[in-house]
Amino acid sequence: MANHKSAEKRHRQSKIRNARNTHIRSTMRSLVKKVRTSVVEGDFETAQATLVKAIPYIDKAATKGVIHKATASRKISRLTKLVINPAAGE
């Protein structure tokens, strides 16, 4: 455990950041999974609606530093490609 006042503050901050990052990452993964399952089930209207919600959330994760900006760009690109043309996707 931390022994100095500044180290204690740093520990408190890291716990808060960890909780926020975990929440953002988890929600992002859930949205991505919803898009993918909708495409697999053939429900492209739901897939497109979920994609519209997922894209800003993926961007938010990159902005907050939870994921790298290139990772966010890659995820958005692959999801969009999957929804537009499911045969070309993964």
Tens digits of residue pLDDT in 33-82: 999 999 999 999 999 999 999 999 999 999 999 999 999 999 999 999 99
pLDDT of residue 89: 62
Q: Nearest CA to 79 among 44, 25, 22?
A: 44
Position 3 pLDDT exceeds 90: no
Domain that holds residue 62: 34-90
Is 12 domain-assigned?
Answer: no
- pTM for the model stands at 0.84
Report which DSSP code applies to 43: -
Is 2 domain-assigned?
Answer: no
**60 Cβ contact list (under 8 Å, min separation 6):** 24
Is 47 domain-assigned?
Answer: yes
**Cβ–Cβ < 8 Å for 86, 41:** no
Is 44 domain-assigned?
Answer: yes
Query: Based on the structure, what is the number of domains in the chain?
Result: 1
